[in-house]
Structure 1
């Protein structure tokens, strides 16, 4: 029995075959990765190579030919259309010209997303024949430099120190906004922890995929406390947990790589963070309101 996802891919491929300007169609993402977890909710990732990417093509809604579109959103700079078709099937369609595949062939190196796996569905010009085979593995993460480490640490502190200020003011949406920005730094430090101390490879897309498999059990348990509800008291607890998890992960990474952490400056920032917590108005923490 053909699934709705398979039927949609078939429509895209038939549409592409009927158009001379479509030169190649490549499936990538989880559906093209042999060991990926795939279920009924898995997205479809397809790259369409056009002979020429024209303004008319970019401005058009030709993707409606594939089915009933519930909603559509365009992303730059590739460009990519993120589409939700009838039934909730999500499709990311990338539109490129032949130079993208040619560049990978010339460099002998696949893009990060293709390295995990890709499947050529259409190739009119033989342009994909020189592509390397996908390794199926996460790309090599490289080595974390001291400058990159410091930038990550400093970026975390700049953002996270704003959180208790907004808690005290009762600005809960601002709390969530600043907290999320800090969380992106926290996640990156956890990823480096997994890479440096555990020898793991992670996807690095900022989604924390597979985290239970690459974080030590105690850190995985601690991470459960870093997200709070939309109230001041819970946000404060999550803030404290985030600081603790970041300090633990950063300390482990620094020790493994021979970096200095915490420095006197880091200790000063940590002390300041604790002072901010003590200064948060008790009523604001309890009721979610505070000074304006």
Structure 2
């Protein structure tokens, strides 16, 4: 663990030892890993099992026990819990994920997190065993059916037309958020599929694009500088076309490796529609 966080960590452990609301504290993320280690920019992530989530979400009183803080806000986590994100002195940022210690029905949702690395900081119950079981229950990649694969591809090409209409209407903010947000999430899924098809279903693609520069194919990563747009009609269409080219290449390649049929009809229709609109409207 980064020694810069030592005081905050020790204060959290001490507070947990005296608070009846806290039952366990588990360090996760880069500070607990033995690979892809934390660096000077890394934050610290801790799962805190508590009996009153509302108190830790709505009150700032307990944060004062940890140190002087300057920023604090609440957001939902991918695991379905609530997270308090705090910035302390020296820009040290701490993410605290609060889970209900009395209702562990959703514990498997953190299996992806704890399976990589964790360290028990405090256990006032049986949480060490609970975390061990969660780490071992990590769900391996499940190959999509051909129908699911086809659905994802159709979803992408639908949004090519949808985003193109937004540009044509002059809604550039909406269009760029679709292309560089929603459609990039679909692209990421296809990049993952291509990696599994190339390297096997036990290949590690992390989550939410983490370390994608390390696990995606080099030629794919090399295309990333082309697929994002600046705020102009011309460049949004350019980025959309570059995203289409990359998605198509990945989809066709993956379909071939999995012996799936590539749904070329949706691709052809959306591509031709965008070209017609480009010639008649867009200043390209």
Which range, TM-score by smaller chain? 0.7 to 0.9
CA contact (8 A) 1:27 1:119 kept: yes
Q: Quick one: distance in 1 between partners of 2:193 and 2:125?
A: 41
Pick which of 183-192 and 87-96 moved more: 87-96
Q: Quick one: distance in 2 between partners of 1:269 and 1:281?
A: 16
Residues 202-221 of structure 1 correspond to what in structure 2 (within 5 A)?
A: 202-205=205-208, 208-221=209-222
Off by >6 Å, runs of 4+ in structure 1: 133-136
Q: 1:146 to 1:60 in 2, by over 3 A?
A: same
Q: Give SS of 1:281's match.
A: coil
Which ranges of structure 2 fall in alignment gaps of 5 or more residues?
none
Return the offset for 1:13.
1.2
Return the offset for 1:135.
7.0
CA contact (8 A) 1:118 1:134 kept: no
Question: Once superposed, what is the RMSD of the aligned Cα atoms?
Answer: 2.6
Residues 162-173 of structure 1 correspond to what in structure 2 (within 5 A)?
A: 162-173=162-173
* TM-score, length of structure 2 as denominator length: 0.85
Residue 121 of structure 2 is matched in structure 1 by: 121
Q: Quick one: distance in 1 between partners of 2:105 and 2:144?
A: 30
Residue 97 of structure 1 is matched in structure 2 by: 100
Return the offset for 1:100.
5.7
Residues 33-44 of structure 1 correspond to what in structure 2 (within 5 A)?
A: 33-44=33-44
Residues 61-140 of structure 1 correspond to what in structure 2 (within 5 A)?
A: 61=60, 62-76=62-76, 77-99=80-102, 111-129=111-129, 131-132=131-132, 140=140
Residue 45 of structure 2 is matched in structure 1 by: 45
Q: 1:234 to 1:258 in 2, by over 3 A?
A: same
Residue 229 of structure 2 is matched in structure 1 by: 228
Q: Quick one: distance in 2 between partners of 1:277 and 1:67?
A: 56
Q: Quick one: distance in 2 between partners of 1:146 and 1:202?
A: 21
Q: Which has the higher helix share?
A: 2
Return the offset for 1:192.
1.2
Return the offset for 1:227.
0.7
Q: 1:101 to 1:236 in 2, by over 3 A?
A: same
CA contact (8 A) 1:43 1:90 kept: yes
Q: Quick one: distance in 2 between partners of 1:254 and 1:241?
A: 20
Residue 4 of structure 2 is matched in structure 1 by: 4
Pick which of 148-157 and 245-254 moved more: 148-157
Return the offset for 1:75.
1.9
Q: Give SS of 1:38's match.
A: coil
Return the offset for 1:250.
0.8
1:3-44 deviation per Cα after TM superposition (whole angstroms, max 9, x unaligned): 332221122112111223322111011111211231011121
Q: Give SS of 2:72's match.
A: strand
* TM-score, length of structure 1 as denominator length: 0.83
CA contact (8 A) 1:229 1:235 kept: yes
Return the offset for 1:54.
5.5
Return the offset for 1:281.
3.1
Q: Quick one: distance in 2 between partners of 1:59 and 1:177?
A: 31
